[in-house]
């Protein structure tokens, strides 16, 4: 379009836009902010709408930067496809709907899951007519019994649970789910594909809060579901209607995070092993939960299932005989380790589950799960392990 003879109003709107199609390829994925897409012929646009040719029509239906992140996740999770969402919670919700959870159906879920996942099931889906049975996911016989009783649409677990770091026997759960006609949804947020790829062990859906290790820098909120092609197609069709899409800026940040995921995870795992081993020796600490410790109830299972590269960056422990205010004093005294409500960042972070991640879970349920007043969750960052230990030591002295 010639702009020289147009008004400044028109020039301001169209100047610089839609130059010739490039014959070069950018090395790194650009951020495509455009919401709409043009084709030379309307028939092409029509064909894209109809799904007869690849392309983009409208960002809620898909966009190039988001596709790049999805394709990277499909590769990392060894999946046919992956579908990105605006948060981990949106991804979990989508996977539950994809698994066929509807009014009248049942979900069998690990009781020890992220508090919002627990609440989504109980308070979000419960009133819509979905029955939820919470189980001890480490008791495979119990899961088997409940699945036989309920014939659920879905079985849901975290590969490493938040915040008690229990490890789920995904191959055994996959057998149980398959025999019971249920889809198995595995939240792989804590392990990441660096340690474990649930689809290779029989899971039907892998979900992530990409806000955590995948993004890795505490600056992006995102979620993703990786699964088979037909399931992914169904998720995309529903996403067009529900609209919990990932934005292009966020997809770009998440994609950038993936590039250093293995490097960061290597350091997270090494640091967490050192920090957890040190915590065990501290008189002010009891019940150190870390799958890399030989005393962990599922250490053998984790060693068998995981890639051999470590046991993740998450640790939790109880401050001995501590009240909430003791733990708050400990957390406030930390200088390097930040008391921030997230995990999986390059920074070391602590969180008090009883007042944050599990705030909306009743005190009775928290107590039954083992989330007591003294429990601290620690996301071990990629700083020098000795510096993390030094900071924990000086803060623990206050409550010893």
Ligand X SMILES: Cc1ncc(COP(=O)(O)O)c(C=O)c1O
Query: Residue 87 interacts with ligand X (CB under 6 A)?
Result: yes
Binding mask 59-78 for ligand X (x = CB under 6 A): --------------------
123 is catalytic: no
Contact letters (x/-) for ligand X, 216-235, by CB under 6 A? -----x-x------------
Residues with Cβ within 8 Å of residue 383, at least 6 apart in sequence:
271, 336, 347, 348
Question: Per residue, what are the HEC states of 94-132?
Answer: HHHHHCCCCCCCEEEEECCCCHHHHHHHHHHHHHHCCEE
Q: If binding is defined by CB under 6 A, does position 192 make contact with ligand X?
A: no
Q: Which of 56, 114, 118, 213 binds ligand X (CB under 6 A)?
A: 114
Site for ligand X in 2-61 (CB under 6 A): none
162 contributes a contact to ligand X by CB under 6 A? yes
The one catalytic residue among 60, 131, 178, 329: 60
**Residue 374 beta carbon to ligand X: minimum distance, rounded to whole angstroms:** 20
**Span interacting with ligand X, options 109-117, 273-281, 285-293, 313-321, rule CB under 6 A:** 109-117
Please give the residue whose beta carbon sits closest to ligand X in the complex.
88
How many Cβ atoms are within 10 Å of 181's Cβ, its own excluded?
Answer: 11
**Residue 114 designated active-site:** yes
Q: Which is nearer to ligand X, 116 or 275 (CB)?
A: 116
- Spatial distance between the Cα atoms of 318 and 299, rounded to a whole number of angstroms: 19
Catalytic, out of 133, 212, 264, 377: 212
Considering only CA atoms, which of 289, 296, 392, 312 is closest in space to residue 350? 392
Question: Which residue reads 């495979």 in tokens?
Answer: 140
Are 223 and 89 within 8 A, CB to CB? yes
Q: Minimum distance from CB of 27 to ligand X (Å)?
A: 29
Residue number with CB closer to ligand X (273 or 379): 379
212 included as an active-site residue: yes
Beta strand ranges found along the chain (DSSP E): 81-85, 106-110, 131-135, 154-158, 183-187, 205-209, 223-227, 285-289, 314-319, 349-351, 375-379
User: Which span (45-53, 81-89, 97-105, 318-326) binds ligand X, by CB under 6 A?
Assistant: 81-89
Q: What is the tally of helices (H) and strands (E) in the chain?
A: 15, 11
Q: Is 187 a catalytic residue?
A: yes
In this structure, are strands 131-135 and 205-209 parallel, antiparallel, or unpaired? Answer: unpaired
Cβ of residue 82: shortest distance to ligand X, in angstroms?
15
CB nearer to ligand X: pick between 87 and 289: 87
Residue whose CB is less far from ligand X, 187 or 204: 187
**For the CA atoms of 359, 284, 316, 374, what is the dihedral angle to 10 degrees?**
-10
- Residues belonging to the active site: 60, 114, 187, 212
Enumerate binding residues for ligand X (CB under 6 A): 87-89, 114, 116-117, 158, 162, 187, 189, 209, 211, 221, 223
């Amino acid at each position: 379009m010639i702009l020289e003879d147009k008004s400044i109003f028109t020039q301001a709107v169209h100047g610089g836009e839609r130059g010739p199609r490039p014959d070069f390829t950018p090395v790194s994925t650009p951020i495509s902010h455009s919401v709409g897409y043009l084709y030379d012929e309307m028939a092409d646009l029509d064909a894209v709408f109809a799904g007869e040719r690849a392309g983009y029509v409208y960002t809620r239906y898909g966009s190039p930067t988001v596709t790049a992140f999805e394709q990277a996740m499909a590769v990392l999770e060894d999946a046919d496809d992956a579908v990105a969402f605006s948060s981990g919670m949106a991804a979990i919700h989508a996977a539950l709907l994809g698994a066929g959870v509807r009014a009248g159906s049942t979900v069998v879920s690990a009781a020890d899951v992220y508090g919002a996942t627990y609440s989504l099931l109980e308070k979000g889906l419960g009133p819509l007519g979905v029955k939820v049975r919470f189980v001890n996911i480490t008791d495979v016989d119990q899961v088997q019994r409940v699945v036989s009783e309920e014939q659920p649409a879905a079985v849901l677990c975290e590969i490493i649970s938040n915040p008690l770091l229990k490890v789920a026997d995904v191959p055994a759960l996959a057998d149980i789910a398959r025999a019971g006609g249920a889809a198995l949804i595995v939240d792989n947020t804590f392990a990441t594909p660096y340690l474990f790829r649930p689809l290779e062990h029989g899971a039907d859906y892998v979900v992530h809060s990409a806000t955590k290790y995948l993004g890795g820098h505490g600056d992006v909120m995102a979620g993703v579901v990786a699964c088979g092609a037909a399931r992914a197609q169904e998720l995309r069709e529903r996403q067009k209607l529900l609209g919990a899409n990932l934005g292009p800026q966020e997809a770009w940040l998440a994609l950038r995070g993936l590039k250093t995921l293995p490097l960061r995870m290597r350091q997270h795992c090494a640091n967490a092993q050192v920090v957890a081993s040190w915590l065990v020796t501290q008189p002010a600490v009891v019940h150190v939960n870390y799958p890399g410790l030989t005393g962990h109830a599922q250490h053998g299972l984790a060693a068998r299932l995981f890639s051999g590269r470590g046991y993740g960056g998450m640790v939790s422990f109880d401050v001995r005989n501590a009240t909430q205010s003791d733990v708050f004093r400990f957390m406030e005294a930390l200088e390097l380790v930040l008391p921030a409500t997230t995990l999986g960042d390059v920074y070391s972070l602590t969180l008090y589950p009883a007042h944050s991640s599990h705030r909306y879970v009743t005190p009775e349920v928290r107590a039954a799960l083992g989330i007591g007043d003294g429990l601290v969750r620690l996301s071990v960052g990629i700083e020098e392990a000795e510096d993390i230990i030094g900071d924990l030591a000086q803060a623990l002295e206050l409550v010893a």
